[in-house]
Structure 1
């Protein structure tokens, strides 16, 4: 678990500062966490989401600084925890509260299926955003646009993450740092929706 991980274009050798851009751009998550915390103004759901975005910031930063297998697992776990909790809170806010807890295992099952089919760990989140935007649009809920925009940004973010190693010859720093910047925006957008939805 302490083995060195060379998973991104920017990293060329072990070392604490081997991925300066990938490390620094994690600040986008911290900014998103602070903005959600301030917007929440005491709302427990908003404060919880802010704390979970803070967890994503911490785990991702540790991974890109240390580049070890255990840190990589922590990075994935931080993102997964946010996604699972968000799925429950989203279902609770827009659908039936009684069945909201089912959203977590349903999302986890979708993630496993898409991963086994070669879609990676994050395709399920894109599918979820697109599906929810479509459902809300069908129901003429004004919040559909928020999820549509978040989904479009996440699709671009996911594409940039996927091509990181392929562009090393042309872009030495790679494109993974853009994944961080854009995902900071995505987490802010989707969290903002729930904070606003919970207001009287």
Structure 2
């Protein structure tokens, strides 16, 4: 693989220059702002788990900025890896802290995430013909909603918080999915909305995790 090969995936990008996606690039500030807001909301309740999520959330903003400016394959990896780490860390913590299962069950949930994602995203691709790459995030949406529904009767505020997160993610996935389809009508595209809404969602999910720990 040629790591420096250029990538043009988004409606806003019209050439391969550094600032060809200014809105997509600058709206990655949403992830940094979300991390800072969550940092202050947590105050003295920060623990290693939530601190790790805050660090990863910051890395998501940096990695995505690199991808929407450099637009290369190596920058694409810098964009995708922090998102994957966030999902896996959150899944482990949700299984152990929210559901109350032992550490090995959390590790098993992380392992199962990969075949689950492959199967579900494959089914979504077949049913929809593809969602502009967003089909890979649908399994995560289903997990958040599933954990939220499971916890509604056991930890109602946590269950509601997760379902709110699933609702925000649904909106952000919609924005990501239609980006290419609306290019003619909206030259700017809608990918920047994915950044803004996802920043809110990821920060919110950290707060939900913290609040659950605080009331247990």
| Aligned-residue offset at 1:74 | 2.1
Instruction: Measure how far apart 1:140 and its partner are.
Output: 5.6
Q: In structure 1, what is the equivalent of residue 86 of structure 2?
A: 82
Superposition pairs of residues 1-200 of structure 1, within 5 angstroms: 1-40=3-42, 41=44, 42-94=46-98, 95-98=100-103, 99-117=105-123, 118=125, 120-139=135-154, 141-199=156-214
Secondary structure in structure 1 of the residue aligned to 2:11: coil
- TM-aligned CA deviation for residue 133 of structure 1: 1.4
Summarize deviations over 1:85-111 as a string: whole Å, max 9, x none: 110011111121332222211222222
Indicate if the aligned counterparts of 1:32 and 1:188 stay in contact, CA closer than 8 A: yes
Provide the secondary structure at the position in 1 that maps to 2:157. coil
In structure 2, how many angstroms separate the alpha carbons of the residues matched to 1:63 and 1:150? 25
Deviation at 1:179, TM superposition (A): 0.2
Q: CA deviation at 1:184?
A: 0.5
Root-mean-square deviation over aligned CA pairs:
1.5
Name the TM-score, length of structure 1 as normaliser: 0.94
Q: Which runs of at least 4 in structure 1 moved beyond 6 Å after TM superposition? A: none
How many pairs were matched up?
200
Taking structure 2 as the reference length, what is the TM-score of the superposition? 0.87
Gapped runs of 5+ residues in structure 1?
Answer: none
Residues 26-35 or 106-115, more deviating: 106-115
In the aligned structure 2, how far is the partner of 1:63 from the partner of 1:12? Answer: 15
Deviation track 1:33-56 (CA, whole Å, cap 9, x = no partner) reads: 112222333422221111010111
Query: In structure 1, what is the Cα distance between the partners aligned to 2:108 and 2:59?
Result: 23
Post-superposition shift, 1:20? 0.5
